[in-house]
Structure 1
Amino acid sequence: MKILVIMGSPRKGNTYRAAQRIEDVMRSLGDVEFEYLMLSGVKLEPCRGCHACFEWGEERCPVRDDAPAVEEKMHDADGVIFASPVYGLNVTGLMKTFIDRFSYIFHRPRFFDKKALLLTTAGAVGEKDVLDYLEDVAGIWGFDVASRAGIVTPPGTTPKKAQENDRKLETAAREFFRALAERKERRPGLRSVIIFHGQRATFDELGDAFPADHAYWKEQGWLDPGARYYTSVPVNPLYDAVGRIVEWVARRRIRRDLAAMR
């Protein structure tokens, strides 16, 4: 198993050590290969918000940095660990720049065969907010979020707290390893199905405004009338019905707005 750790911390501190603990547990369970990608050592420039990637594809992005190589590393891995300490109740600036730089993947998801583990450390509070945010990002990008771990590591951590943190890391590592070994695709929840149908309405109706997105969705077969989700995994019929209602409403709204602009 090839594991890529995308490390949003600018230093090798608590978050890095937590990732190493996860690595140790996974190595005790089987054959794994870890690679640490320190974002502090990667050239990723801030997104310029020009929409070129949305309209014409990521190849037309005016920024020339290490983004293509970073995406290739994600494709080559079996699983990705998204790791960031809590800075100001959110991910670090390094992690946010990374996420923003790959904004086109929100429109054109592609990592459906990958598992993800989410990891954060906090000095006091904010770990749940960061994990929830990373889960939204990884989920929309296509990753199956198999496990998550948020630990609190204040100065002078007590032995009891240290043991609690270690249990969380061990549990997350075991869940991640099991998901990678089983390679099962989980059925999507209601929110994921709604996102699929909402995006389908947008990129189908606004094909002239987002030609790259429209072409990508058409190539994937996601614009076909019978498509129920990004992959062929079974979808709860009730979720599918709700998603199609959301899509119908979204299409009507988009068409009304377009007519008003003419």
Structure 2
Amino acid sequence: MRILVIMGSPRKSNTYRAARKIEEYMQSMDNVEFEYLMLKDANLLQCRGCYVCLAKGEEYCPCKDEAPLIEQKMHAADGVIFASPVYGMNISALMKTFVDRFSYIFHRPRFLDKKALLLSTTGAVGLKEVLDYLKLVAGIWGFEVSQSIGLITPPGMISKKQEQENNRKLEKAALEYYNSFQKKRRSPGLKDVLIFRAQKASFGKPGYTGSADYAYWKEKGWLNPEAKYYVDVPVNPVYNAIGWISEQMIRRKMEKEIAELRE
């Protein structure tokens, strides 16, 4: 089993040590190989917001950096750990640059066979905001988020009680993350279905969005009327019905807007 840790901390401090603890616990269960991608050392340029990757394809991006290599690393891993400390009630700037640089994956999900673990540390507050955001990103990119873990790591000396509590959380998360690789993908929740249906409506015709999005979705078979989700898993019939209605509403709205632009 291969795990890629994408480290959004500029230091090898609390978040890094927490990831190493997870590595230690998982390696006690099996032969698990960990690789650490330190974003502070990666050649990853800031997104220019030029829209080229969305309209034409990521291969046309003017930023010539290590993004293709990093995506390849994510594909090669069985699972990915997204790790970021809380900075200003959000992810670190390094992690945000990483997310922005791969914005095209929001339109063209591709990690549907991968499991993700989300990890964050903070001195006091902000864990929910960071973990919720990372869950949204990883989920739309296609990952099945198996675990989310947030640790309180106050500056200075950490109490013995807090350290024990953190280690307990890390051990539990490592065990559950490891076990998740033995299970089939879960059925999507209502929010997941709504996101799929909204994208299906948005990318359903070349005129609605960039040609790269339409071509990708068509190739995947996601534009077929019978497609209920990105992968072949059971979908709650009620969620599917709500999603279908939502898709039709979005499609009609977009058709109306395009017709008005052509007048």
Partners of 2:146 and 2:208 lie apart in 1 by: 37
- The 3-state SS of whatever aligns with 1:145 is strand
In the alignment, the residues of structure 2 paired with residue 224 and residue 2 of structure 1 have an alpha-carbon distance, to the nearest angstrom, of: 34
Q: How does 1:22-61 map to 2 (within 5 A)?
A: 22-61=22-61
Match of 1:199 in 2: 199
Q: CA deviation at 1:167?
A: 1.0
Residues 206-241 of structure 1: per-residue CA shift (max 9 Å, x gap): 546410000000000000011000011111111100
CA contact (8 A) 1:2 1:32 kept: yes
Q: TM-score, normalised by structure 2?
A: 0.98
Contact (CA 8 Å) 2:208, 2:254: kept in 1 or not?
no
1: CA distance between counterparts of 2:230 and 2:47?
Answer: 26
Looking at structure 2, the residues matched to 213 and 255 of structure 1 have their Cα atoms a distance apart, in angstroms, of: 17
C-alpha separation between the residues in 2 aligned to 1:137 and 1:211? 23
Q: Does the aligned pair in 2 maintain the 1:90–1:126 contact within 8 Å?
A: yes
**Which position in structure 2 is the counterpart of 1:136?**
136
TM-score normalised according to structure 1 size: 0.98
Tell me the distance in 2 between the aligned counterparts of 1:233 and 1:110: 16
Return 5+ residue gaps in structure 2 as ranges.
Answer: none
Matching residue's letter, 1:64 = K
Q: Is the 8 A contact 1:205 1:251 kept in 2?
A: no
Distance in 2 between residues matched to 1:24 and 1:191, nearest whole Å: 34
Contact 2:81 2:116 (8 Å CA) reproduced: yes
SS of residue paired to 2:203:
helix
C-alpha separation in 2, matches of 1:207 and 1:165: 51
Which amino acid letter does the alignment assign opposite residue 8 of structure 1? G
* Superposed displacement of residue 106, structure 1: 0.2
Give the distance between the partners of 2:10 and 2:51, measured in 1 at CA: 28
CA contact (8 A) 1:205 1:254 kept: no
**Cα RMSD for the two superposed structures:** 0.9
Match of 1:10 in 2: 10
Residue 230 (structure 2) aligns with: 230
Q: Secondary structure of 1:120's match?
A: strand
2:89 alignment counterpart = 89
1:250: how far off?
Answer: 0.2
Query: Alignment partner of 1:204: what SS?
Result: coil
Per-residue deviation at 1:63?
0.7
Q: Answer whether contact 1:207 1:213 (CA < 8 A) is retained.
A: no
Distance 2:212 2:205 in 1: 13
Q: Kindly provide the amino acid, as one letter, of the partner of residue 24 in structure 1.
A: E
**2:74 aligned residue:** 74
Aligned to 2:255: 255
Q: How far apart, in 1, do the equivalents of 2:23 and 2:38 lie? A: 16
How many correspondences in the alignment?
261
Shift of 1:68: 0.1
Aligned twin of 1:161: 162
Q: Is residue 63 from structure 1 mapped to residue 67 from structure 2 by the alignment?
A: no
**Contact 1:190–1:239 under 8 Å retained in 2:** yes
Supply the AA of the counterpart residue of 2:60. R
Q: Which AA in structure 2 matches 1:3?
A: I
Q: Which moved more, 1:7-16 or 1:202-211?
A: 202-211
Partners of 1:133 and 1:184 in 2: CA distance: 24
Alpha-carbon displacement from aligned partner over 1:145-180 (angstroms, at most 9, x marks no partner): 001110010022211111111111111111110012
Give the match for residue 114 of structure 1: 114
1:243 equivalent in alignment to 2:246:
no
Which aligned runs of 4 or more in structure 1 are off by greater than 6 angstroms? none
SS at match of 1:154: coil
Gaps of 5+ in 1: none
